[in-house]
Amino acid sequence: MFAALGFVMVLLSGPAAAQSAPSHTAAGTTATLRTASSRYVVARHKHRVPRTNRRALAVAHSKLGHAYVFGADGPRKFDCSGLTHYSYARAGKRIPRIADAQFHAARRIPRRHLRPGDLVFYHTHGHHGRVFHVGMYVSHGTTIAAVDPAEGVTWQRIHYADATFGSFTHR
């Protein structure tokens, strides 16, 4: 079942659970992302998850619950592109600050090639308009994104019909 999905995000609690998680599986790479408050594993991904993606995703995950402020790019307040910009910068990769510029700078990838840490873009007027929102892909149709002032940085479901995908680490 999990092989058909590509990978699964498993929430783990406590050091014993993290130690029992394998570092590699027969199906592919397992990436362990650690923050001060939690650990989770992105498992059974059919492609290797680049270190930059793992680090950027760990940074974004550590910002869950932080405030949304339009135009902010950290370290305590973010808008959507500010979160991705800040996360990649902390991972050692410089990317543009604005969502539309991130879209144009990233390599376009199909949905089946999404890896944790890749970016999910939303456009005005379908896939042909300007990019107005970006989130960082986690797994199973979920991103971490700075959504709005009421929600702040939170988990967000992907609306695949309206989304395009990009990566700064795919070759």
pLDDT digits (tens, 9 = 90+) for 61-86: 999 999 999 999 999 999 999 999 99
Paired tokens of 64 = 């869950």
Distance between CA atoms of residues 11 and 16, nearest Å: 13
CATH of domain 2-167: 3.90.1720.10
Tell me what pLDDT residue 170 has: 82
pTM for this structure?
A: 0.74
Q: Sketch the domain layout of the chain as residue ranges.
A: 2-167
Q: Is the pLDDT of residue 25 over 60?
A: no
Distance between CA atoms of residues 58 and 55, nearest Å: 5
Paired tokens of 140 = 């199973």
Tell me what pLDDT residue 46 has: 53
pLDDT digits (tens, 9 = 90+) for 128-169: 778 999 999 999 999 999 999 999 999 999 998 889 999 999
Tell me what pLDDT residue 1 has: 28
**Per-residue burial over 129-168, b = 16 or more CB atoms within 10 Å of its CB, e = otherwise:** eebebbbbbbbebbbbbbbeeeebbbebebeeeebbbbbb
Q: Is the pLDDT of residue 3 over 80?
A: no
Residue range 13-33: mean pLDDT, rounded: 33
